[in-house]
Chain A
Amino acid sequence: MCICNEILILEPGRAEKNYWNDLWRYRELFIILAWRDISVRYKQTIIGVLWAILRPLLTMLVFTVIFGRVAKLPSDGNAPYALMVFAAMLPWSLFSTSLGEASNSLIGNSNLISKVYFPRLIIPTATVMTAFVDFFISFIILLGMMAYYRFLPGWNLLLLPLFIILALLASLGPGLWITALNVKYRDFRYVIPFVVQFGLYVSPVGFSSNVIPEKWRLLYSLNPMVGVIDGFRWCILGGESPIYWPGFALSIVIVTFFLWLGISSFRKMEKSFADLI
């Protein structure tokens, strides 16, 4: 009467070999954890939704006034300045929220990690999904603004999902690294607000990356968010905002590098999470 159909072998280094298989087998847990994080986030407050609307709108307003009106920086082509800023706010808040959520995710789920087995990579990647909801709310605002300015997007808009994925990957790399370090060094999470605040001004959110002098643009693109934001503007504003391709390619290389760094260090540290947390 043997009901056993699967044989599991545990030995040092074994988990390493089946890692990606395991990740696939636990996909349902991934979906449920992502759904849990999303529903908890919006259940707790109606203000949560309101906040998701107000925050990008107010930031957009401030940037438009300061960079567009006071500093009189040029917009991309003929696109309205507010629209250009908002097109960058979308990927920026997607990046910053998912980075923030991912970085605290392991500590927030410590009771699960110390009690149940599953590939730990599920936790930070599932929390990144919560940033999506904010993103969709902002996207609807964007559509409203486009209608207000009577701005018709081109076929480029269809490529937006690719850039959304790029924005998520850009945040996942550092997010994985920081959340893993955070397990042992709890003060690491204080890095995040700084990175986000600093990055908001270093990245071309409030201004167009075309205002950067040509000879510095490649250097500027070392910031991976430059490529992501340029891509978003290209999709949304169309021909008004051409992509600077060498810089974009560099951004992709940097994103890939951070993703590799994040995943590989996460996997190295993963084995000791249960012992540390």
Chain B
Amino acid sequence: MSDTVIKAENLGKKYIIGHRAENVRYVALRDVLMQNARTLWNKTKDLAKGKPIIQGDTLEEVWALKDASFEIHQGDIVGIIGRNGAGKSTLLKILSRITEPSAGRATIKGRVASLLEVGTGFHPELTGRENIYLKGAILGMTRAEIRRKFDEIVAFAEVEQYLHTPVKRYSSGMYVRLAFAVSAHLEPEILLVDEVLAVGDEEFQKKCLNKMEDVSKGGRTVLFVSHNMLAIKTLCTRCIVLDKGKAIFMGDVSSAVDKVDIPGEIVWNEPSKASGNHLVRLKAARVISGGKVTGYPSVNEDIEIQFDYWNFEENVRRFVAVQIDNSMNSIILTTSNLKVRSIAYDPWVNKPYPVGLFRSTCIIPKYLLNVGIHHISLFINGEMVSDNIIIQRNVLSFDVQEDLELRKEYSGAWIGAVRPILAWKTEQLK
């Protein structure tokens, strides 16, 4: 088709990762010395030849992107979505030529430019005027082009009086405006936007989004990588879904979003597929936040973890427990409805259960979990707390969302497994 601006055929990117072998039964000094001498020799040879050296005894190939084929048409705003590590950023890096593909081929018609993070390409010691030229050149504009658009850029950024001041003396607002003004006046046929929108303040994010819309209205094409499904849904006209390095879907936005959306609820209509046995069987599990079933609870709302299960045995006690892991597979917490472990007394905790359908809900207070993906594991125990009738690992996931109100004071991520709001007090002592 004539209006295809990007055509990717079996595009792939391979990285090589080294592993260390650990299978030697006993170690002889002679072997170690020989081994080291041999590696040293080989590596020196590689070094001199300019080959990359990879640590480790065995090498493994990892395809960050594999067999990605798709076509992008002129004027589309294409969202690229997928889980972490699906190859989204790798794809953008290949298209912007920062890294070369290891396989396949991409044909691109027209000039490609990336919307860069605010500070990239600016030098604090240089004046506003000098930085406009510097950043423009880095983005791929010619000097003549920058000269032509210079006044426009300055007017857009509202920095006329400060053109001869080093940008290190700019307020952060001026700095961001100027940096963005240069990018905004770049007129590429294809604009690549990585999730830079996750950093920077809200106003800047809005400007970026507006810019993307303008660009596509002018018949240009935008590729937009994001985790923010809302932004994808509002902006994009088409979507590519990547999963483990493969393009698994290309098409309309809502079906694409469904492919990566975290459902927030799982229901087993078919009892044979649910976890359980002749004593207890799961029926459903869900995450509720702000009164709605969602896979994206907000950090400033309580998160309810709710699960329904059948009890098939008459007159026995049941205990339930939940474990939450984060995306690094660290256990964030374990909790159960045992009397000593819950705030309010669970009415069914020490009561014999009749046969029937039960629902247990655990409320995790707001501001306890940090933002990011969390996985839920469920436990249902019998009379003895230690005898697990059901252990369902990673039954559901949810992705805790940042609260934008909080970001006004501090725009970075809070480091830590949890993110409680704690009591603070400072006193002047002397």
Contacts and interface: CB of A to CB of B under 8 A. Distances in A.
B352 interface: no
Interface stretch (B132-140, B233-241, B254-262, B301-309): B132-140
Contacts, number: 124
Contacts of B116: 115-116
B98 A117 contact: yes
B120 interface: yes
Interface stretch (B49-57, B149-157, B335-343): B49-57
A147 B68 CA distance: 70
B228 to A, nearest CB: 20
Contacts of B134: 32, 36
Given A12-B100, A181-B47, A265-B49, A39 B120 contact: no
Contacts of A13: 100
A112 B120 contact: yes
Contact of B15 (A265, A266, A275): A275
Contact of B52 (A32, A33, A269): A269
Given A3-B189, A112-B121, A265-B49, A15 B15 contact: no
A4 B140 CA distance: 16
Nearest to B104: A11
A272 interface: yes
A71 interface: no
Contact of A6 (B15, B93, B110): B110
B98 to A, nearest CB: 4
B101 A12 contact: yes
Interface residues of A, number: 46
B180 to A, nearest CB: 15
Contact of A28 (B120, B130, B142): B142
A7 B117 contact: no
Contacts of A32: 133-134, 137-138, 143
Given A4-B189, A32-B137, A269-B52, A111 B98 contact: no
Nearest to B106: A10
B123 A10 contact: no
Given A3-B219, A181-B47, A14 B114 contact: no
B199 to A, nearest CB: 13
Interface string B84-107: 000000000111111111111111
B108 interface: yes
A44 B48 CA distance: 37
Interface in A239-277: 264-269, 271-272, 274-276
Contact of B98 (A44, A180, A274): A274
12 contacts: A3-B110, A6-B109, A6-B111, A11-B105, A36-B123, A43-B125, A112-B121, A116-B121, A117-B97, A117-B98, A268-B49, A269-B50
Given A4-B5, A269-B52, 20 more contacts: A9-B107, A10-B101, A11-B101, A11-B105, A12-B103, A13-B100, A15-B97, A15-B100, A29-B138, A32-B138, A32-B143, A39-B130, A43-B166, A111-B120, A116-B139, A117-B96, A117-B97, A265-B49, A265-B50, A269-B50
